[in-house]
């Protein structure tokens, strides 16, 4: 009987994590809407701002980026296409592997990121309890 109770508690905890994620993502989406961004767009820009290459730029191979933002490669490809169309990121062939593609944030992307960042942080502070 204790096992069933522990299992139910574990599942309930998991569902609460999912609910917090869904509520927080919704709030982030609403906050970022005036900037023409969604939560997943911001996450990609955030990773690109924090990344880096030897020449001082921020670029990641698509697979590296997908791993960091927890999207499938196809979903990330669609997202990057949209960001590229908006001038927020650029794509280029990897110099070390011509089959690979690198994604880098543009100056316009960095500016949009910096404009949206305070609102993103405000949502996180409001939605995520800190111990």
Judge contact between 89 and 83, C-beta under 8 A.
yes
Judge contact between 25 and 39, C-beta under 8 A.
yes
Could you report the per-residue pLDDT of 51-99, keeping only the tens digit for each?
644 444 568 888 889 889 988 888 999 999 999 999 999 998 766 666 6
Cα separation, 81 vs 78, in Å, equals: 5
Could you report the per-residue pLDDT of 109-121, keeping only the tens digit for each?
999 999 999 999 9
pLDDT of residue 98: 63
Cα separation, 91 vs 31, in Å, equals: 27
- Count of helices and strands (H, E) across the chain: 5, 3
Judge contact between 37 and 114, C-beta under 8 A.
no
Could you report the per-residue pLDDT of 14-65, keeping only the tens digit for each?
999 999 999 999 999 999 999 999 999 999 999 999 864 444 456 888 888 9
* Fold (topology level) of 2-127: Arc Repressor Mutant, subunit A (1.10.10)
């Amino acid at each position: 009987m204790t096992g069933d109770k522990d299992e139910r508690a574990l599942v309930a905890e998991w569902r609460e994590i999912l609910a917090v994620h869904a509520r927080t993502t919704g709030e982030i989406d609403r906050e970022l809407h005036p900037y023409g961004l969604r939560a997943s767009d911001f996450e990609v820009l955030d990773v690109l701002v924090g990344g880096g290459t030897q020449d001082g730029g921020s670029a990641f191979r698509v697979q590296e980026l997908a791993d960091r933002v927890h999207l499938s490669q196809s979903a990330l490809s669609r997202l990057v296409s949209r960001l590229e169309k908006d001038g927020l990121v650029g794509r280029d062939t990897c110099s070390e592997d011509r089959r690979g593609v690198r994604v880098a944030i543009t100056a316009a992307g960095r500016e949009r990121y910096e404009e949206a960042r305070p609102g993103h942080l405000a949502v996180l502070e409001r939605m995520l309890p800190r111990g």
